[in-house]
Amino acid sequence: MSDTPVRPSRRRRVAVKSSTSSAQGRDRWILSYADFITLLFAFFVALYSISLKNSGDEQRLKETLQGVFDAVQKSVKPINIGEPIVGEPKDIEVIEAKPIPAALPTIEENTSSAVYALLSQVVEKQFSGLHASGQISVSESADWVSLELKSGLLFGQGEYDLTNEAVALLILVANVLKAYPSVILVEGNTDDLPVNSRRLASNWHLSSLRSSSVVDELVYRGVDPKMIAPIGFSSEHPKVRNTNDFARQQNRRVILRISKREADNLHDYLFQ
């Protein structure tokens, strides 16, 4: 037998913490935090609304602000965390939200003017260098708002597949066109030099395929396909006479013509 004495086993005492009302009180900070996050969200939405006002979209500004203030009023009511607290806690002050009157005037929107203003803003702020060099421009006539893009900005030489830079530009354009749906004709134009490619038979093919590539990208980005169509003019509608390389460069272009006349779809707009 071993002479080592056997030590009696000691049982560890486990302290059992009982849930009390103080545990519930420690969670009350979540209520204030949730209200703070809601108000912070409302603040950033209000900043976005101010940017809409700068763009001239008064009606959308009114709707956005009204939705923000309604959401803030609904969030003032406390949200229960864990077990409901019986009675009214003394350290939480219930604030009654006062309704905010809608004092913003309602202004009837002019769709064509809004499209022209937004496209001009996108061109001047996002692509100021391209605008200064004449690679992109916006113009307006009695019936159309026109966005002209030089082919060198969209395609490689003799190609009809969009470049990555062209896709980035068309994403911004698509956002404007989705906000103000209108009939859109995408015109492809080339110079008078014959094509030098086995894949293309003539400038008619090249101009049509380039305009189709632009339409495909815009439709992919959300533009209604019933409101847009490509058309190729080859070299039959030059901007300037094809007398030299610089002039031919000006004639190689794609033009987005956005109609000012309302229509449900492009087919009825053209044929009825």
Q: How far is CA 233 from CA 159, 214, 251, 265, in A?
A: 16, 15, 11, 22
pLDDT at 61: 52
Radius of gyration of the chain (CA): 32
Q: Give the rounded distance of the alpha carbon of 96 from its chain centre.
A: 36
Report yes or no: 158 and 205 within 8 Å, Cβ to Cβ.
no
CA distance 62 to 59: 5
Q: How far is CA 266 from CA 137, 225, 259, in A?
A: 24, 9, 10
pLDDT at 106: 30
Report yes or no: 31 and 94 within 8 Å, Cβ to Cβ.
no
Each residue's pLDDT expressed in tens, for the chain with a length of 272 residues: 455 555 555 555 544 455 555 555 566 666 677 777 777 777 777 676 666 555 555 555 556 555 545 544 444 444 444 444 444 444 434 434 444 334 333 323 456 678 888 888 888 888 888 888 889 999 998 889 999 999 999 999 889 999 998 999 999 899 989 988 899 999 999 999 998 888 899 999 999 999 999 999 999 999 999 999 999 999 999 999 999 999 999 999 999 999 988 889 999 888 98
pLDDT at 57: 56
pLDDT at 122: 82
148, β-bridge pairs: 137, 255
pLDDT at 128: 83
CA distance 244 to 131: 22
Q: Decide: helix, strand or coil at residue 257.
A: strand
pLDDT at 24: 53
What is the pTM assigned to this prediction?
A: 0.59
The CATH code that applies to domain 111-271 is 3.30.1330.60
Report yes or no: 256 and 213 within 8 Å, Cβ to Cβ.
no
- Alpha helices, DSSP H, located in 201-265: 203-220, 245-251
CA distance 120 to 93: 50
pLDDT at 130: 86
Q: How far is CA 252 from CA 90, 184, 230, in A?
A: 75, 20, 16
pLDDT at 42: 73
Residue type, 195: V
So where are the chain's domains? 21-109, 111-271
Q: How far is CA 15 from CA 12, 18, 24, 92, in A?
A: 9, 9, 20, 32
pLDDT at 64: 53
pLDDT at 110: 57
Report yes or no: 59 and 107 within 8 Å, Cβ to Cβ.
yes
Residue 140 has phi, psi (to 5 degrees) of: -140, 140
CA distance 118 to 123: 9
pLDDT at 99: 44
Report yes or no: 137 and 254 within 8 Å, Cβ to Cβ.
no
